Amino acid sequence: MTFSSATEQALDRWISPRTWDSLTHTDAAKFFQFVSQYQKDHGFFMDEGLMRDSIKQAVITKGHPFGQPQAEFVHKCVALARNVLDFLSATGR
């Protein structure tokens, strides 16, 4: 999946800290900023499989561990992102 540079930067801000997969308040905010930027740049359509693969590759490139817990976390985040995009689309935001 090819992201715009702004979406790529938002993804990088989310996954840069080692705590990226904890969804603490700060990490959750960075995740939602990534989803918001994705919507602004790419619209409401998202291929969930490609999104999961893109996040996984970005995490591995950062040198963070990526095992089963992180894979499950990414799966949940992408499902949440899909719900956010659906909400934004349905409410005209």
Q: Note the pLDDT tens digit of each residue in 28-75.
A: 999 999 999 999 999 999 999 999 999 999 999 999 999 999 999 999
Structure tokens at 72: 């499950």
Our count of domains for the chain comes to 1
Q: What is the C-alpha to C-alpha distance for residues 41 and 38, in angstroms, rounded to an integer?
A: 5
Range of the domain at 12: 5-90
pLDDT band at 1 (very low <50, low <70, confident <90, very high): confident
Rounded alpha-carbon distances, angstroms, from residue 58 to 27, 86, 91, 92, 93 = 16, 24, 31, 30, 28
In the block, residue with structure tokens 């308040």: 25
Question: Which of the pair, 15 or 22, is modelled with greater confidence?
Answer: 15
Whole-prediction pTM: 0.93
List of residues 6+ apart from 18 with CB closer than 8 A: 64
- Give the pLDDT confidence score for residue 23 in this predicted structure: 78
pLDDT band at 93 (very low <50, low <70, confident <90, very high): confident
